[in-house]
Amino acid sequence: MIVLTGMLVGCASALVGTFLVLRGNSMLSDSISHSIILGIVTVWLVTGAQAGPLQIAGAALTGVLTVFLTELLSGTRRVKHDAAIGLVFPALFSVGVLLLNLYARDIHIDQHTVLLGEIGFVWLDTLVLMGVEIPRAVLWMTVMTVLNLLFVTLFFKELKITTFDPALAAALGFAPTVLFYALLFLTSATAVAAFDAVGAVLFIAFVIVPPSAAYLLTDRLWVMLVLGVLIAIASSIGGYAAAVMLDVSIGGMMAMVTGLFLMLAYLFGPRYGIIARSHRRRQERETNALRTVAIHLYSHEGTPGQQAENVALALETHLGWPALRAREVLAQGITRDLIARQGDLLVLTPKGRATARAILEPWRNAAAGPDG
């Protein structure tokens, strides 16, 4: 049940978090997860509900209110967006904490629970559903996972367009603002459903880190969604196993494993990983060096200076390369069938000559002008 709860929180969070990450609004999840304390205590004061759909819906509206006030404040252009977040959510969070201390001291609602939660105790708070006893956290996180999945599936095209091109979405009549606030409402509702089990901290980790890791692995939106969910599931399973083995916090270890996946994606990602980018830069340097040699040999080919210029020593003196660098480039050129040796003379192969011409012809045509 503990692992299942973590998996459901991870799936629900990654589904909405993907679009927040792509929009550059991922830290809104932080402000929402803190400000919902005000919504939680307000709903309790009005209805007496400590959990359930009323609590989820009411507190989720507080999250939407947080974003609305943030946008309203930043819309004045007197305050930057990040500063607006820093002004709004601490204010709402503070009001919520004050109300908790004034009116809710004797009930099971406190800021420690909201922020940190305790996923290891989810099996203590259960209900009977169709004759089966299940944790309340599993029930409500299942509901939120299904709702988030339905929302993303039904409005995938609209979400994709509004995320990458809001102006085009507005022109096509997709109401990007409405979709954005619907996304934020679901994010807030997911935070409320998750707070008692995992707390705000793990919720924020699941919203931001798995989608960010997936973003480093692919450029396709649906693949990013799938990878984000899979990373969240793997983090829940791996985090629980590691926490049991090391006898440490389960939620904290789950969050740490999401960070491990992010680090692995950052290092080994096929396109944006450090190793892949380093490999591409090295290949580009080698390719540019070979092009330089091809142009040098082609420029002196058939000229009186060919015997002096098209030799290995000239690459060192004219191109300013160390002897080792010159030998490495020549070896690469011979391996790629761009250069051949005729005694001490370096000559271009047909492939090497074609490479040089492909580079030089556009420049010569441009220099010749429209009249040739």
pLDDT one-digit tens code per residue, 204-221: 899 999 999 999 999 999
235: Cα within 13 Å, side-chain hemisphere:
36
CATH number of 2-272: 1.10.3470.10
Rounded mean pLDDT, 108-125: 63
Any idea which architecture 276-366 has in CATH? Orthogonal Bundle (1.10)
CA distance 122 to 135: 6
Q: 41-61, pLDDT tens digit by residue? A: 888 788 776 666 777 777 778
- The CA angle 243-245-249, to the nearest 5 degrees, is 20
* Alpha carbon distance 84, 72 (integer Å): 9
Nearest to 202 by CA among 227, 239, 228: 239
Q: Given pLDDT bands bounded at 50, 70 and 90, which one contains residue 117?
A: low
* pTM for the full predicted model: 0.78
Closest-CA residue to 200 (of 278, 328, 89, 104)? 89
Domain ranges, ordered by start, for the chain? 2-272, 276-366
Assess contact for 63 and 35: CB atoms under 8 A: yes
Question: Which pLDDT score, from 0 to 100, does residue 199 have?
Answer: 73
Contacts of 47 (CB under 8 A, 6+ apart): 54, 58
**Domain pair 2-272 / 276-366, same fold:** no
CA atoms within 13 A on the CB side of 331: 6
